[in-house]
């Protein structure tokens, strides 16, 4: 798989990534991949805060997720509203990241955006040049295509096991295993 083919794909942490609190059972949407770096957002690690906790002027409650260990004090977002949010950055034909934040707030307030359209993150996941490829060579990650269904509408806790189960074989066993295999 070439570097440019990774953008818009999911990185799914292999069960062997234990003891890494950032990426244990993580599913990362790769939002940007170029010759110098890779940027993505962890889709399945909700935080105990909501958007209106961070921004009280927003009167609707949207969950906020841990996007990764880089820049954890800043808010980022992905969405499927690229034609409706100015200055969005295309990930693929259906998904975008960023865009005009005032536009996002306005669309939230007027109920044009819902949690199945947009996901907010504190921080992001980032890899320097060749770092992700090295991790893939050590078999830390599986690369899979986005599912047909809207991944933002899925229960965030079910994303990792659902994807593993769909891969079949040994991954089905891991999909049903407890979070800590020592509890089995």
pLDDT in tens, 80-105: 999 899 999 999 999 999 999 999 99
pLDDT of residue 177: 76
Separation between Cα atoms, residue 76 and residue 26, nearest integer Å: 17
Residues in the chain: 184
The pLDDT of residue 3 is above 50:
no
pTM above 0.85, yes or no: yes
**pLDDT tens digits along 111-152:** 999 999 999 999 999 999 999 999 899 888 999 999 888 999
pLDDT of residue 148: 86
**pLDDT tens digits along 6-17:** 999 999 998 776
pLDDT of residue 2: 44
86 Cβ neighbours under 8 A, 6+ residues apart: 99, 100, 103
CATH number of 3-155: 3.40.1740.10
């Amino acid at each position: 798989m070439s570097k440019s083919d990774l953008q818009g794909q999911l990185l799914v942490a292999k069960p062997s990534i234990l003891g890494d609190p950032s990426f244990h059972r993580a599913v990362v949407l790769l939002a940007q991949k170029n010759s110098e770096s890779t940027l993505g957002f962890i889709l399945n690690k909700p935080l105990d805060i909501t958007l209106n906790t961070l921004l009280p002027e927003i009167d609707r409650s949207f969950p906020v997720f841990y996007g990764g260990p880089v820049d954890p004090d800043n808010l980022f977002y992905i969405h499927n509203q690229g034609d409706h949010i100015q200055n969005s950055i295309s990930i693929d034909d259906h998904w975008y990241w960023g865009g005009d934040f005032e536009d996002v707030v306005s669309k939230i307030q007027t109920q044009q955006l819902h949690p199945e359209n947009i996901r907010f993150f504190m921080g992001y996941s980032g890899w320097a040049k060749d770092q992700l490829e090295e991790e893939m060579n050590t078999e830390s990650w599986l690369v899979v295509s986005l599912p047909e269904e809207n991944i933002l509408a899925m229960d965030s806790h079910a994303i990792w096991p659902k994807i593993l189960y769909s891969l079949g074989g040994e991954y089905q066993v891991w999909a049903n295993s407890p979070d800590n295999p020592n509890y089995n």
